[in-house]
Each structure stands twice: as structure tokens, then as C-alpha cells.
Amino acid sequence: MAHTANGDVGYSIPEEIKRGSVIGNIAKDLGLDVNRLSSRKARIDTEGNRKRYCDINLNNGDLTVADRIDREALCKERPSCVLNFELVLEHPLEIHNVGIQIQDINDNTPTFSKDILYPSLDGNSFMTEMVPKAAQAGSLVSKVIAVDADSGQNAWLSYHIIKASDPGLFTIGVHSGEIRTQRDLSESDSMKQNLIVSVNDNGQPSLSATCALYLLISDNLAEVPELKDMSHDESSSKLTFYLIIALVSVSTFFLTFIIIILAVRFCRRRKPRLLFDGAVAIPSAYLPPNYAEVEGAGTLRSTYNYDANLTTGSRTSDFKFVRSYNEDTLAADLTLKQTQSAVDDLEGLDGNTGCGSPERLCSFLI
């Protein structure tokens, strides 16, 4: 946004704007000829040795951001922050005053002051305070003070208790930060009280900070060193939490590994059973019509019909002779003549795991 007055021009931009961003067209706003900016050596002149935060584009007359603009660094706690410089042109000499109003953005988180005396801070956002045992409802226990480097509504702060050992024992002023008792203290109240206080600013989005406040309900200063145990208790609880997470992670990994190993072993043991379970059947074939005719290798010819059943895990097999399909075979009602030697051969075959020699088979089938 730009405005001009008496040959001067002013703009308003938020802080922390990106380098190279266009603030406005200063040539147009001042009624200058863009084509003559280069020939007239237009330039930005800062007072003294101040850092130059803006620059002018001689090709189109745009005023751009040349460096980071931090309102808090430029103006500290001043309510108004204006960046002033001059636009100088030569032939003829012409000077224009330029002012840029720097608007605050919510870029700073609230911080707790370490210079306050009530209570004093011990270390990093760690407060300790003693509370008399006779404290009644509404008694002031402590006061939390925080500051915000931003300005305007971005610096408006509000206080809240987000965690307490006894939620109904203490309260805090939303805008004052005063911590007071909500009821009278009793003997049943724990001597050690922990409060986690959060402070939020009013910016968009809101930024916040927290501090731990440890209260000791006691009238005896000799018990103050026990406050160290309170901080140790908090550290121990965090360490226990991390140890539990680590233990659960390791246990889960170990159980998953065991399950995978068992699954692999089960699959490997099951695979051979699928390959060898049951009997292996050899398809039927045809033997030659001549029963006594045996090949030189001791096997029957392939035109003879037979079935062979093999059993798993054993070297014994069942071999069944079937009736030949040749018309020259003996009639079904004829009885084979068996000699005593043939019977002996048969008994010999029964006691043998194989089919016997071809000669003994021939004497049996005559």
C-alpha cells in the first residue's frame, strides 16, 4: 500500500517479507519517467551508514526488498516502526523522501523473565516457592511474569495452569499471572505440589511457552532442599517412560522374529510330505501274448497289461498280472498245469521281494 504527500511517498509492509518482493512501483507513484530512471542514475540513499533494505529496479521502476527486515531488531520496543530513506535522481538533481511502515507479525514466542524477584527463576523455566501451611483461600502464592518481543495484540499474554498435582488447590489469573489458593490448606494436602503453567500470546497463530512451578507447603526452610527430589522424580518418570517404550519395541521385534522362523520351518517340513504322500500309480501297459517270452533284460514286453503299485518308504512293491488282450492266450476256464517244480518256484517267488529270474518265471507259466 502506498501514499504520496508533497513529493514524498510512503508504503506499509509486514516484517520478514521475502527478499525480492515488490513493495510498489515507486516510479509510477512519484510520476517519474521509467525510461529515464537509468539515464538519471536513480538510486536509494540511506542515512549515514545504515543498512540498505530496499532497492529500485531501473527497468520497470519497482521498489523491492533487498534484505531481511526484522521489526524487533530495527525498532526494539517502539510502538511505531518506520524505515526512512531517499530516492535520488540526477540531471537534474531530484530527491524524494520514502518511508516504509513496518508492520509487526507474530514471530516471537513469549519468554519468562529471569529478572523478577517474585519468584526468582532457578535454571531453565524452573520456579520454586514455599507456601505457608496456614494459607487460606485466595492467598497469593506466586506470580508468573512473561514477556513478548512482538507489539500490539501479538504481545497480549494469557496464563493457564495446564497440569497440577491437585487441580482444585491453586488457580492463576488469566492476565495477571498471579497464583492463588482456591481453598484453605489442610493436613491431608501433599507437601509437594507441581504446577505446569502455560503462557499464550494473542497472535495468529498463537505462540506459547511453559514453565514448571514447584510449591512446597511448609513453614520450615530446612525442607527446601527436598525440592531437588521433585525435579529428580520428574526426570525419573520420563526415563521410566522411555524404558517402557524401548522394552515394548524389543519384545515386539523378538516375537515377530520367532513367528517368522517357526513359519519358515513349518513350510519346509510340509513341502516334502506334499511331494511323497500316497501311492504312486504306474499306468497300465500291454504285455506280449506269449507268457514265457521274456526280454533279455529280464522285463516283460510292453504289450502286456499289468499294474504296479509302489508304497512310500518301503522297497517292497506289489506286481499284479492281468489277463492278456491277445486272442492266442489260453481260455479262461482252462486250468494251468503245475508241476512240483513250478510250485517250488512259486514258493520261491513268494519269499522274494522281486519277481524272480526269467527262467523260474517261465517254469511257472508253462
More confident residue, 286 or 172: 172
**pLDDT for 321 beyond 60:** no
- In a domain, residue 229? The reply is no
Q: Where a domain ends, among 82, 103, 124?
A: 103
Query: Is the residue at 141 inside a domain?
Result: yes
Residue where one domain finishes, among candidates 62, 80, 103: 103
Please tell me whether residue 4 adopts helix, strand or coil conformation. Answer: strand
- The per-residue pLDDT for range 195-209, each reduced to its tens digit, is 999 999 999 899 999
Cα 29–Cα 35–Cα 39 angle in degrees, nearest 5: 110
Residue 161 lies in a domain: yes
Task: Decide: 40 and 90 in contact? Cβ < 8 Å.
Answer: yes
pLDDT of residue 161: 95
CA torsion 249→250→254→257, rounded to 10°?
60
Give pLDDT, residue 2.
53
Q: Is the pLDDT of residue 113 over 90?
A: no
Pairing mode of beta strands 94-103, 43-45: unpaired
Residue-wise pLDDT tens digits, 152-180? 889 999 999 999 999 999 999 999 999 99
pTM score, whole prediction: 0.54
Q: Is the pLDDT of residue 271 over 80?
A: no
Of the ranges 21-30, 215-224, 228-237, 311-320, which one carries the lowest mean pLDDT score? 311-320
Count of CB atoms situated within 10 Å of the CB of 49: 5
Backbone angles phi, psi at 178, to 5 degrees: -80, 130
Q: Read off the CATH number of the domain in which 144 is found.
A: 2.60.40.60
Domain span at residue 358?
280-364
Q: How many whole angstroms separate alpha carbon 230 and alpha carbon 215? A: 10
132 grid coordinates:
505457608
Does any domain span residue 270?
no
Q: Do residues 65 and 52 lie in contact, with contact meaning Cβ atoms separated by under 8 Å?
A: no
In a domain, 300, yes or no: yes
- Please tell me the total count of domains within the chain: 3
Parallel, antiparallel, or unpaired for β 22-25 and 62-65? Answer: antiparallel
Final residue of a domain: which of 103, 133, 155? Answer: 103
On whether both 94 and 173 belong to a single domain, the answer is no
Q: What's the rounded Cα separation, in Å, for the pair 159 and 179?
A: 10
Grouping H, G, I as helix, E, B as strand and the rest as coil, residue 66 is: coil
Asked whether the predicted pLDDT for residue 332 surpasses 90, the reply is no
Convert the pLDDT of each residue in 208-267 to its tens digit: 999 888 888 887 766 555 545 555 555 566 678 888 999 899 999 989 989 999 888 888
Residue 239 lies inside a defined structural domain of this protein: no
